[in-house]
Structure 1
Amino acid sequence: MKRSAKGADALNEAVIPGIRMAAKRTIPKGKGVAPPFWTPELTKLDKMVQECKNERKRCTDPRWTRKVLVDTAIGRWKENVSKLSTTDSASWNLVKSMYAPRPLTSPVLVVDGHPLTKRQQAQALAKMYMSRSTKAPHAPEMRIPCTRSSTFRPITEAELDVALRELSSGTAPGDDEIHCEELKELGRVAKKCVLRLFNCSLRTGQVPAKWKHGIIVPLLKPNKPASSMASFRPVTLTSTLCKLMERIVARRVRDCIEDKLQPQQAGFRPARSTLDTLMQVTSAVRRRRDGEKTAAVFIDYARAFDSVDHNCIVKALMSFGVEEHLVAWIADFLQGRTAQVRVNNTLSEDISLTCGVPQGSVLGPLLFIVTVDSLSKRLNCIPGLQHGFFADDLT
């Protein structure tokens, strides 16, 4: 099938302005939030002060006004302290907000004793991230499977509604500035437009180019020096529309592979957690016979998500029998990806990412565990060896 991105790109370019316009017309403007200790008495006092200002006269003593504010704040604080409980999550959130260290909002990189400018920092980080996500020169080109129109299953309104409910509120948008809350409030006509875009993208195996671009925000890891580039964890902001589509694709892929994955993998799977691996290791130690020795090896793959080969992902999906239209869409989703690093409001130049799964994406973790499943199969063939996976952590 000949692939041309014009169809999906054109629909995406039409949908995004429509969502922005609808949001601007219908979403009310926010108002300032009053302090948590604000009371009706303070509202009356504030109104009286404003009236005095408007009439250009002095009706209250500023010292008395400040005293009322301070006394009210102290009274509210004492009330909150009296309600603190070790079993109350709100109490712990209050304590953390007071004592937790404030993370730096941007790097403070230093070279030869001189701090870099924001632009230089963004460029330096971008160069490092690109080196991590560049495939080896000898790596084979990705083979995208051919698709047949007879096997295409259109995305339904029910699937779209489920994916919309699963969207996380309060998350930062991607480069298109479309928020999850805006998508959740889409009307019937707007949903049909989004559904048309999604079905066009899946049917043709074309992912809009803007969905493949991400903004990387470096966040300082706990207790790490801000002067080192290795101390920052990259978080990628991508298109919310793409994340919505990813949820639909991920659910279909999971329905196909979940029963076929090796039971030793506990990462990014429903009703599984690190406790599964912990219990497995504990049981292996307790079951050992008298006189036998048990040894454990803990392996953490460095930059595993950044370096996984795209061709391996496609082969793994095909070996699981995933629908060819889904595999073709995922293959196009992985190739031709670009990103920029943002330090404060300063952006780096575009970089190309030719391997790895997109950090911050919905599909990324699922694609990773599908790819490493073959390693789990091989380990299961070794007599006397037991193992457990949690994503890229192997025991």
Structure 2
Amino acid sequence: KAAPEEATYLLLSQTRTDLNRLFIEDAGRALLWSKQRYFERSNKIDTPLARKIKPKYKSNQFAKIVDKQGVSHDTPREIRDAFTAYFAKLYHHTPSHNESNQTLLTDIEGYLTKSNIPHLNEQQIAALDSPFTEEEIREVVKELKPNKAPGPDGLTGQYYKCFANSLVPRLCPLFNTLRGGGGLMPEALLASVVLIPKPGKDVQGIDNYRPISLLNTDIKILAKLMALRLGPMLSTLIHPDQVGFMPGRQAFENTRRAADLIWWARSRKVPSLFLSLDAEKAFDRAEWPFLFRLLERAGLPDSFLALTRALYANPMAQILIPGTDPTPFPIRNGTRQGCPLSPS
């Protein structure tokens, strides 16, 4: 347009044609690569298969919620208040069960003394007790998924990946300070909670939702560091029957064990039965005094216990309901679904 000559116009047209051809070739390669990956992995227990069978959830809108007393709530504010009251009670279901209750602590100690809790060896304790390094933190930051929903501070994994050179040297001394018993600001421990409906359940039932905590990314980095250190040692502490969340163990092992037991009972004509038990709200009802005493009995060093206590020192949560401002409430029991350390 600046120099409307025919030669310039022809050159511009040719350049546009070449650029479009490159775009088409690039799209063709991407499509071919996608087909190849799908062909290679579609019949395996892998991401493509999981995506195909994963149910499509509706958008997180709530038309009506019925609380435990049978009262219906149908405005966004009422629904928010109902969920907040329900989860505030769930996460503080037994106020007397705290570390100032000496009777409770005595009962816990008596139970653990009789339970013959496995103990880490000196080498494992030393590995858990060593300070964090910048290299460890960088590896965790590299593995962050850039598009995961952030916590209340709004800082995504992509932010930490882009500014790793500036952030990692600051995170390392912070995390190591916590090993000595330091604490975190209350804002750091605030989590936004999104509610996922449980498959096959009535979506109007207030207890038919799974709370997923959206933690601040720096807290997830710390929790992931702890989980990576503790993970290889879990087989020392956890019975072989437990296969969920255990590195190196698979769910089919228990399926195979059940099939073997059925065969054994039938071949020897031994009257038998299988009993399936499900702990309701297992993540949410875990009591901290018991967990902390259990970790001590297992031999976890004081520095690791201090890190764990820092993550559970007055945490807060807020339920996200479209069309309302969340109301924070304290958490006094349970482990957060969405925290990398919780399964461990």
TM-score by length of 1: 0.63
For 2:339, the equivalent position in structure 1 comes to 361
One-letter amino acid matched to 2:329: I
| Residue 172 of structure 2, aligned match among 195, 198, 207 | 195
Q: Distance in 2 between matches of 1:335 and 1:91?
A: 40
1:347 aligns with 2:325: yes
1:306 aligns with 2:284: yes
Give the C-alpha shift of residue 356 in structure 1. Answer: 0.7
One-letter amino acid matched to 1:296: F
For 2:242, the equivalent position in structure 1 comes to 265
1:108 aligns with 2:96: no
One-letter amino acid matched to 1:120: E
1:38-187 to structure 2, matched below 5 A, reads: 88=42, 101-110=56-65, 116-141=74-99, 153-187=130-164
For 1:18, the equivalent position in structure 2 comes to none
Select between 228-237 and 162-171 the one with higher mean Cα deviation: 162-171
Indicate conservation of the 8 Å contact 2:178/2:310, yes or no: no
Q: Distance in 2 between matches of 1:198 and 1:319?
A: 24
Q: Distance in 1 between matches of 2:282 and 2:198?
A: 18
One-letter amino acid matched to 2:92: T
The share of aligned pairs that are identical, in percent, is 19
Indicate conservation of the 8 Å contact 1:107/1:218, yes or no: no
Residue 158 and residue 329 in structure 1: after superposition, are their counterparts in 2 closer, same or farther (change >3 A)?
Answer: same
Q: Deviations over 1:293-342 (max 9, x none)?
A: 22111001001111111011111111111111111221231231111111
Residue 91 and residue 138 in structure 1: after superposition, are their counterparts in 2 closer, same or farther (change >3 A)?
Answer: closer
Q: Distance in 2 between matches of 1:252 and 1:88?
A: 33
Unaligned runs of 5+ in 2: 1-15, 21-33, 106-127
Please give the secondary structure, in 1, of the residue aligned with 2:202: coil
One-letter amino acid matched to 1:138: S
Q: Distance in 2 between matches of 1:256 and 1:238?
A: 25
Indicate conservation of the 8 Å contact 2:160/2:167, yes or no: no
Select between 163-172 and 86-95 the one with higher mean Cα deviation: 86-95
Give the C-alpha shift of residue 214 in structure 1. Answer: 0.8
For 1:209, the equivalent position in structure 2 comes to 186
Give the C-alpha shift of residue 86 in structure 1. Answer: 11
One-letter amino acid matched to 1:109: K
| Residue 316 of structure 2, aligned match among 323, 334, 338 | 338
Give the C-alpha shift of residue 154 in structure 1. Answer: 2.0
Q: Distance in 2 between matches of 1:360 and 1:106?
A: 21
Q: Deviations over 1:52-72 (max 9, x none)?
A: xxxxxxxxxxxxxxxxxxxxx
| Residue 248 of structure 1, aligned match among 221, 225, 243 | 225
Indicate conservation of the 8 Å contact 2:234/2:246, yes or no: no
Indicate conservation of the 8 Å contact 2:83/2:206, yes or no: yes
Q: Deviations over 1:173-205 (max 9, x none)?
A: 000111012212234343211212222222334
For 1:4, the equivalent position in structure 2 comes to none
One-letter amino acid matched to 1:232: Y
Please give the secondary structure, in 1, of the residue aligned with 2:180: helix
Q: Distance in 1 between matches of 2:50 and 2:290?
A: 43
Indicate conservation of the 8 Å contact 2:232/2:247, yes or no: no
Give the C-alpha shift of residue 344 in structure 1. Answer: 1.5
Number of equivalences: 280
One-letter amino acid matched to 2:60: T
Cα RMSD for the two superposed structures: 3.3
Residue 353 and residue 140 in structure 1: after superposition, are their counterparts in 2 closer, same or farther (change >3 A)?
Answer: closer
Give the C-alpha shift of residue 247 in structure 1. Answer: 1.0
Give the C-alpha shift of residue 92 in structure 1. Answer: 6.9
One-letter amino acid matched to 2:237: K
For 1:290, the equivalent position in structure 2 comes to 268
Please give the secondary structure, in 2, of the residue aligned with 1:347: coil
Unaligned runs of 5+ in 1: 1-39, 45-79, 144-150, 367-395
TM-score by length of 2: 0.71
Please give the secondary structure, in 2, of the residue aligned with 1:299: coil
Give the C-alpha shift of residue 153 in structure 1. Answer: 3.0
One-letter amino acid matched to 1:290: R
Residue 249 and residue 287 in structure 1: after superposition, are their counterparts in 2 closer, same or farther (change >3 A)?
Answer: same
Select between 323-332 and 304-313 the one with higher mean Cα deviation: 323-332
One-letter amino acid matched to 1:311: P
Q: Distance in 2 between matches of 1:228 and 1:129?
A: 13
